[in-house]
Amino acid sequence: MEINIFEFAAKHALRFPFRGSITTEDLYSLRLEDLDKLYKELNRTLKAQEEESLLSIKTETSTLLDIQIALVKHIVADKQHQRKLAEEAIDRREKKQKLLALIAEKDEAKLRDMSKEELQKALADLEK
């Protein structure tokens, strides 16, 4: 059975070593740079606790650290994805504004090219 890291974090009340101690949900309020620092710290701690062994038995501490690292990685990936979506939305909005401006210019050019009679007829049609 695959473990759900968020369920595990909730059941075990995981805390993370950042400016004291923070909860899993607090991770979402951290900047990417802070999450990267936390990831590096967790990785250093995990490597310091790992001993070479022929049996390679996982300790409870290394399992907790693995899950903490997986949570931080997941949240970083999510934040990067959300940032990318926001940037794409801004790009689409800017392109839409440019297209609308170009359409308005074309409409105006079309009106400028109309004869006086055509303009008067269009005006009369609007007054109906």
Domain ranges of the chain: 5-127
Quick: pLDDT tens for 74-118: 999 999 999 999 999 999 999 999 999 999 999 999 999 999 999
Residues 6+ apart with CB under 8 A from 29: none
Give the C-alpha distances (Å, rounded to integers) separating 105 from 73, 109, 111, 114. Answer: 48, 6, 10, 14
Quick: pLDDT tens for 60-75: 677 899 999 999 999 9
pTM over 0.75: no
